[in-house]
Amino acid sequence: MKKLRVMVLAPALLAASGCVTGYTLVTTGVNAVDTLYVDAGSGWNKAPYNAYGGDRKNSQKWTQDGLMLNQLVFVPEVADGEALITSRQKDAALPLFRKDMLPNELEELAQSTFVKMFGEGNAVVETMNLRPHRFGEDRGVMFDVEATVTDNPKLKGTVGAFVANEKLYFMYYLGATPYYYEKYAEQADAIIRSATLTPPVPPEAPVEG
């Protein structure tokens, strides 16, 4: 189990549903996030790109009840030497992905990234239950995360990550607990587990006799 202190009052977690225009409904079924494919459940809404800063250009944030309450995030195609998030500060010293990272190092990368994303300060973040998972044809990992924040709801979540073609594909679900994390945890976990680089094959049209 790993622990790091961070402040979780990040802009990405301060947006309640309806506070920002530009949300779009995510179609139930297979959705493409750049080169990543996931099988979405119902009721998710895609947040506007970079509405609260830190987003890579090809990433997406989904939510059911507002980003402050729950969010499902996809970060595809992180190249060797790149960070999972962006910063306007040139001296931010963001954690960088390396193409030869081991499973425990991917966990540490995620943890360090959350620290930078949330801002160092007044919370304890723990990661646990590192486990293997196959994302389509690619082997990866999943693990759990918790954040205890002063004067804020406790956050729980699940992270999935895999490396393919020397690039990192990173996904996570975070929600306020009790209630908001638990409300969609099973569905979000299934969406993360469904991630693949293989596009779905459309069903063949029936042959007319």
All domains in the chain, ordered by first residue: 2-193 (3.40.1000.10)
pLDDT in tens, 155-169: 999 999 999 999 999
pLDDT in tens, 19-74: 446 899 999 999 999 999 999 989 999 999 886 678 999 999 999 999 989 999 99
How much is the CA Rg of the chain, to the nearest whole Å?
A: 17
For residue 136, pLDDT beyond 80:
yes
**Cβ neighbours for 152, distance < 8 A, ≥ 6 positions apart:** 8, 9, 123
For residue 102, pLDDT beyond 70:
yes
Q: What is the pLDDT of residue 90?
A: 72
Say what the pTM is: 0.86
What SS3 state is found at 143? strand
